[in-house]
Structure 1
Amino acid sequence: MNTIQKNDIKDGEVIDLTHEGHGVVKIDNYPIFVPNALIDEKIEYKIIKVKKNFAIGKLMNVKQESKERIEPPCVYYTKCGGCQLQHMSYPAQLAMKKEQVVNLFHRKGDFKETTINDTVGMDNPWRYRNKSQIPVGLSHDKNVKMGFYRQRSHDIIDMDECLIQDDQHQQVMNVVKQLFNDLKVSIYNERSKQGLMRHVVIRTGYHSDDLMIIFVTNGKKFKQAPTIIEKLLKAFPNVTNIKQNINKTHSNVIMGDESITLYGKDKIEDSLSEVTFKISDRSFYQINSAQTEKLYQLAIDYAQLSGDEIVLDTYCGIGTISLSMASQVKHVYGVEVVPEAIADAQQNATLNQLENTTFVCGKAEDTILKWQQEGIQPDVVMVDPPRKGCDESFIQTLLTLTPQKIVYISCNPATQQRDAAMLQEKYKLIEITPVDMFPQTTHVETVALFELK
């Protein structure tokens, strides 16, 4: 019988971590999840929420610290929801991410034989984000605030610095904030749905140093734009494009469907593994370029290419994986449901003079079957779906297509494990490597190799 009450103060020892990085303490097998607590720590905590199967605690005092505990370098860490693991040493973060994958595949899943490698980390796990999406609001004294949301809320923490963003983004943010204040730019209010400026989005080219600044507005009329552009170009000579994105929907979606180029080119350029990409304001492009190069190299290594292969890249986006592989195979076919992404992929193929590529807009499962009827039989299928994983109909299509190898990149190992269970009918899961694409956060990306039985 559970006798735990809200506001109880308890002592305990942390025996495990959840996939969100919360410490796990147990009282008579009843788990209490305590954010910011680490394994092996003796802690004092306060019960703040009691549910039937678990409780949530708040860390009050660490009586015996883990050797992996470090002082978070960011002054906003305890308030901001952007990072969750800054109190944990980087080697411990990498170990936790591997453990998460081991837990899903070896313990909960039927994949005891599968090799799970150590997490591929970064040499310097800071300042890695090449894209920042910064909400804009007003403080009580009507000053503009820009930063990131408080944990589990839409309350903006006003920030001067964020240690996981590209350094330049911070400088741009601080200049923009000052300009908004000086020029009395109208700021959007989530509650009243009134006001103009909603977000500022900044993108940088990791290798090119191109800089794109996007103002996301609740309407078209942006009368201070010419002055702001002039000041930004003076402050940041590497700005290649300034855009306005119009989003009149009152939802959590950051970008709207309409973009206007206010200055410069339409897209920025960057390269990954010696392939050049043009990236528009709304293109999906991996946030951490240094780790993306490692991730794609792993995927290509898993495919064990000889040069004669026909490769299918499903969920191909702007062609980042397809074009990284193209020089090493006979032909790559890419499919994606977003028309703008396919247009970008085709343009990127032309830009890099990679003629052994075909990109088609459509649902992966329908397009694959059409290609199969045309006699196209892939040797390797690359899969890189969104967080929700693959549709069951897509998995069934793969099972009828029977390529020799499937290389599955995932940003959500839980849905990858579910999909792996369906693929087991004909495929053996050989190996998984976790890759740390988002240091200081709980996210983990994985690359998995499946071979036809």
Structure 2
Amino acid sequence: MEHPIPSGLPDPVKPGDLLALEVTALTPQGDGIAHTVGLGQGRVVFVSQAVPGDQVVAQITEIKRNYLVGRIRSLISPSPQRVRPACIVADKCGGCQWQHVSYAQQLATKQQILRDALERIGGLTLPQPVPILGSQQPLRYRNKVTYPMAKPEGQPLRMGYYQRGSHRLVNLNQCPVQDERLDVFLREIKRDLQETGWSVYDESRHQGHLRHLGLRIGRRTREVLLTLVSCSRRLPHLESWAERWMQRYPDLVGVCLNLNSARTNAIFGPETEVIAGRGALREEFAGFSLWIDSTSFFQVNTEQAEAFFTWIADQLNLR
């Protein structure tokens, strides 16, 4: 049986060591923060998938000059703020970092991150407490998704998100964070792209064509815009497939092709072509009617963006 080193013992600590730690906070990236000696002292340890209040046995994986990195080997005592993730691959997928943390704790952490940024970096004096506007719908809110693709030799097409800190793709058929009306597109368009026989981009060899599937939805209008990102336009019968999708999905208002041939991690290239329908969806936002195209910036949480916009307008007492 392996026995963890009590966190109060002095260094040296080496990779592979097991430490008994109490997690006290979260980083903006979602890692737990612990210390090798008591609260606020000793060396900082960043522990992935940890929650404030967890008591864990952590295995040290990296030793940096000013901090340690570890992963949970076992939970001694789970935090009251630890919850079951809504997604079955939350521990693998890099799309989310905080699904195992209660929403109340997420809000408290974000509140502290904002306060630290404004007070310690900005030098401002803030009221107590800093107001925070929590969402009425912490899941199923995303109005935009862009899924990278991969096609391993002899295997079906994969589409999803990368594992955190890697380019290993986690295949998805649904996502509890995106608008639920987009799940059907993820499943069925992936199946269709497999059927087309179009090549999929291999970043290691800089070969192939299809790179990403982009989806946007108007939360108020239900309009959906579908965008394929490809290295080239050499996609046989693309127009026929686009028309088929337009007929199959009543809410689909446009199919676009974005061209990105650069050897880059940027998703979109500089040129977008409308293949069928129109190149932008319409959305209603805070009394405005907006047109949003494939590459436009727009907040992914429509309701929270509108709440924030309305709050700012009220604070300014605009006339």
Q: TM-score, length-normalised on structure 2?
A: 0.91
Question: In the alignment, residue 26 of structure 1 is paired with which amino acid?
Answer: H
The 1:212/1:113 distance shift into structure 2, 3 A limit, reads: closer
Distance 2:53 2:155 in 1: 46
Determine whether 1:85 maps to 2:98: yes
Question: In the alignment, residue 164 of structure 2 is paired with which amino acid?
Answer: Q
For residue 133 of structure 1, give the secondary structure of its aligned residue in structure 2. strand
Q: Which runs of 5 or more residues in structure 2 are unaligned? A: 1-9
Distance 1:25 1:39 in 2: 9
Measure how far apart 1:115 and its partner are.
4.9
Distance 1:282 1:108 in 2: 32
2:32 is aligned to 23
Decide whether the 8 Å contact of 1:102 with 1:116 is kept in 2: no
Decide whether the 8 Å contact of 1:79 with 1:157 is kept in 2: yes
Determine whether 1:214 maps to 2:227: yes
Decide whether the 8 Å contact of 2:25 with 2:109 is kept in 1: no
Question: In the alignment, residue 32 of structure 2 is paired with which amino acid?
Answer: G
2:299 is aligned to 286
For residue 71 of structure 2, give the secondary structure of its aligned residue in structure 1. strand
Measure how far apart 1:125 and its partner are.
0.7
Distance 2:161 2:171 in 1: 7
The 1:108/1:286 distance shift into structure 2, 3 A limit, reads: closer
The 1:108/1:254 distance shift into structure 2, 3 A limit, reads: closer
Q: Percent identity, please.
A: 26
The 1:103/1:261 distance shift into structure 2, 3 A limit, reads: same
Listed one character per residue, the Cα deviations across residues 184-226 of structure 1 (whole Å, up to 9, x for unaligned) are 1211111111111111111111111111101111012221313
1:118 is aligned to 131
1:139 is aligned to 152
* Higher RCO (Cα < 8 Å, 6 or more apart): 1
- Report which stretch shifted further, 24-33 or 53-62: 24-33
Distance 2:271 2:65 in 1: 47
Q: 2:13 aligns with which of 4, 23, 31?
A: 4
Decide whether the 8 Å contact of 2:148 with 2:212 is kept in 1: yes
Decide whether the 8 Å contact of 2:49 with 2:100 is kept in 1: yes
For residue 170 of structure 2, give the secondary structure of its aligned residue in structure 1. strand
Q: 1:97 aligns with which of 87, 110, 126?
A: 110
Decide whether the 8 Å contact of 1:216 with 1:255 is kept in 2: yes
Listed one character per residue, the Cα deviations across residues 277-301 of structure 1 (whole Å, up to 9, x for unaligned) are 1112221111111111101112212
1:312 is aligned to none
Determine whether 1:228 maps to 2:241: yes
2:193 is aligned to 180
1:274 is aligned to 287
Equivalent residue runs for 1:26-65 within 5 Å: 26-28=35-37, 29-65=42-78
For residue 80 of structure 1, give the secondary structure of its aligned residue in structure 2. coil
Question: In the alignment, residue 5 of structure 1 is paired with which amino acid?
Answer: K
Distance 1:264 1:190 in 2: 31
Distance 1:194 1:150 in 2: 22
Decide whether the 8 Å contact of 1:95 with 1:118 is kept in 2: no
Q: Which runs of 5 or more residues in structure 1 are unaligned? A: 308-453
For residue 58 of structure 1, give the secondary structure of its aligned residue in structure 2. strand
Question: In the alignment, residue 233 of structure 1 is paired with which amino acid?
Answer: M
Measure how far apart 1:113 and its partner are.
4.4
For residue 67 of structure 1, give the secondary structure of its aligned residue in structure 2. coil
Determine whether 1:245 maps to 2:258: yes
Equivalent residue runs for 1:287-302 within 5 Å: 287-302=300-315
Measure how far apart 1:303 and its partner are.
1.6
Q: 2:89 aligns with which of 76, 81, 95?
A: 76
Question: In the alignment, residue 117 of structure 2 is paired with which amino acid?
Answer: L
Question: In the alignment, residue 26 of structure 2 is paired with which amino acid?
Answer: L
For residue 168 of structure 1, give the secondary structure of its aligned residue in structure 2. helix
